[in-house]
Structure 1
Amino acid sequence: MSAWNPALSCANEAQVWPSKMAALTIKQAKRPLFIMGSLLNEIPQDITDKSLKIVKKKKIPVIATGGSNLALDRSNFKPAKTMGVIEIINHLKNPNWKGLDGKGNYDLVCFIGVPYYLGSQGLSTLKNFAPHIKTMTLCRFMHPNADMSCPNVGYEDWLVWLDEVARYLD
């Protein structure tokens, strides 16, 4: 008999978000923030470009973490800030944090490219200690600690999903 693993046993029951709902959530956010992680350096550049297309449509500030500046530089994109993912999670937990621009905390935080083990813990922290923030992952694999997540998909389906999110933002 094996131990019960909630990550494996409830994956089929967890609610994942179709691209249209993800786009609607981004559209409705008053103060969204995008966190881009180091995995963008290890995957094809088209994922970074598709993510930046989403960012640019809504003019979302981006925090580069874990050296993701390399991938962003290849796309000629300058993030609002470069910061460690743990540091930004600690700021986001504080409802009185004034944000990167001094106008207040964020209501939606989107993650892409943050290593799963680090993203999972960060999302768990926000879920339990930052009820004022909704979280979304645009990663290829479902994150059970996020409020909204892309379903587990193959690479080609992930490209289509990201394209649809960007298209629905129009």
Structure 2
Amino acid sequence: MRRAVCPGSFDPITNGHLDIIARASRLYDEVWVAVMINQSKKGLFEIDERIELIRDVTSEYGNVRVESFHGLLVDFCKQRDIPAIVKGLRAVSDFDYELQMAQMNIGLTGVETLFVPTNPTYSFLSSSLVKEVAAWGGDISHLVPAPVLTALNKRLRKD
């Protein structure tokens, strides 16, 4: 079985994230979405809320599994026999950072990283930007799946 993981904080998941996950799900038999737990950072959504939203918006794919992780991503991969990490790249600045991570990961455990160029529609998109625009009342309906928009509006009291 061909397995891959799409890691991130997903606070919240955006249409850009969803595009990468959907594309990976067409290439692999099983795709894990690994939701990173960073205890030094307080997110807008709790980990369980993020997992629930991701499961909701990826349910149509059938081969996507969602779990949280704490620690090294390569350990998550080793525990689940996942040989590949799939990462979306928005810009050259993403590549500089992600290349270092990819080289470290393959050096630590032999886990490969595959870079997928982001759909140009989402090349500027980040969870941080979505949260900021939403907090100021901007229209983000075209940037996040409907369940995420509902959750953001509720969290930011903009129902």
Q: TM-score range by the shorter chain?
A: 0.3 to 0.5
Structure having the larger proportion of residues in strand: 2
TM-score normalised per structure 2: 0.43
TM-score normalised per structure 1: 0.41
